[in-house]
Structure 1
């Protein structure tokens, strides 16, 4: 299974014009690195950043962390050159910003080849309206919440963006895709803000979150983790089911049938993965502190 099918999927942005950071980002514990040719790179630096991609990628461990490149949008003068530059690079795939047109995703696929993956970043009103079409041709959807809020003239607050977020979740589910990837939390010094944003995204059905700093990885994991009460309930359900050898059972005055069992299995598997991620993250942080 590809790394971007994991729950949660936590990719980390790094500027394309800072190749010395590629290796650090890949070793950060993020599920993937997104090398950003778009917002993180000034117009005057885009050509040099594009030309330096191959050298920067050469220093990464083969077969290690998944590597994506966020291209400039199809409506810019940089898109064709970006596609040409990444055509022969050893990438996992691309992130397509301001995705609105399924045809552009198909063009990108032709460049990437059969194994290349496309994450469609929806951040415009038209992109949200076409989310279900885009989900049919992309490998995953992501939400560019900051740009979207600006585009509709809204404050970047949860209730203003709920309809768009729910549309991405529904479009992904209808297309058989994993849960979409939520947008960034702009502060990385406020861990609780990252925890709260990740937990809110998980509640809505998102399967990951875009990160802008390694310090956001651990709090994002905490936010996506099932609560202690959820894990205890799931274990109780699965234990009761085992004792009765399957089928519908009654537990604490409530009927436990197939959907509830599926929920319990999902909570248990996610709790185990996230517990392992937290342990690995703590061990990595301790090692970095000693070095």
Structure 2
């Protein structure tokens, strides 16, 4: 090998090492910036939110400016709407995901449904809220918790659908073949074998969908709006944490802003808890 070739090879090695070092440095710097931003958010949330937490937050309704109050009505309203939304989303999402995994296959219709599900998965939540407003609010001339639950369900459905399809697709083919060999119809195999085998993954998808919708504000501004009083009647405007946080955080009253920080901390804690639970379920060892 000539000296020129040796020098060219050594030069390429040096350039590759420099490029690799530069790329690693860039990754470290970007990661540090992201962690620094996350730490700043968590610090502000904890420093501001912990100061507003007390027993009144969980026992009293949202107050007038300068009055003693809490977030009890907003907490209950959020829980009711999220639970109703998850019931709707689980029924639709599990059935849609099951159809895509077990019946649609690679058909053209199945591909269209998957594409539409992906579009809905990335759709801005404010558009979902506007759609439900035109569908369930404007025709009935009133905001309601039911409309808010439907809007949240539309945000959760594509997450559950995608997760259900992926989890069922990962189930081994011998499970289906064994059921068919015994003469069982596919619908019976899905209900008694595949759903049981994939329940951990399906539950994880449901928890992740719940974590996504628990802090949504834009759809609820168009549908549930808010209610200053305690009520479990979802046929009327319903109090909820995201909208209360949005309104109180923009106010000029210190007591309202403290409640807004406390509500933000509650939502963050709920999302963190649900996410950790979903990760724990996902890491659960599969039974043979």
Q: Which has the higher helix share?
A: 2
TM-score exceeds 0.5: no
Q: Which has the higher strand share?
A: 1
Q: TM-score, normalised to structure 2's length?
A: 0.26
The structure showing larger relative contact order (alpha-carbon pairs under 8 Å, at least 6 residues apart) is 2
Q: TM-score, normalised to structure 1's length?
A: 0.26
